[in-house]
Amino acid sequence: LNQLYNVIGHDRPQMLVDLINTFLQDVPQRFAEIERALQNEDMSQVRAMAHPLKSSAASLGALAFSRLCEQLEEAAAENPDLGYITQRFGQLRTEFERVQQALEQYKRTLFT
């Protein structure tokens, strides 16, 4: 995040806050779509939802979350075992809770 902050510029912290907020709002929506895809056993949709999450998370420095997205995406492509993919998705949800807390805390530091 600090690298992104340096790129955006010290004079525009609100832009970084907006990027973080967009990510934090987007993830639950994509999670809901992944849940629907899992219920329908639609692995192509699981992949389609995991891919942009992977990129967005990496750009914000949430590398563990990004790696889990990549693992979910790969599992849906290569090994469509519903139990395994559901387990990976559970890990992704848990990691998102950590990412969410860290990003919220980081936002507070931008204006202090």
CATH number, domain containing residue 52: 1.20.120
Domain range for residue 45?
2-110
pLDDT category at 8 given cuts 50, 70, 90 is low
Residue 110: predicted pLDDT: 78
pLDDT tens digits for 50-108?
Answer: 999 999 999 888 999 999 999 999 999 987 789 999 999 999 999 999 999 999 998 88
Comparing 66 with 110, the larger pLDDT belongs to 66
Count the domains in the chain.
Answer: 1
**DSSP H helices in the chain:** 2-8, 13-39, 43-59, 63-78, 82-110
Q: Count CA atoms within 13 Å of residue 52 on its CB side.
A: 12
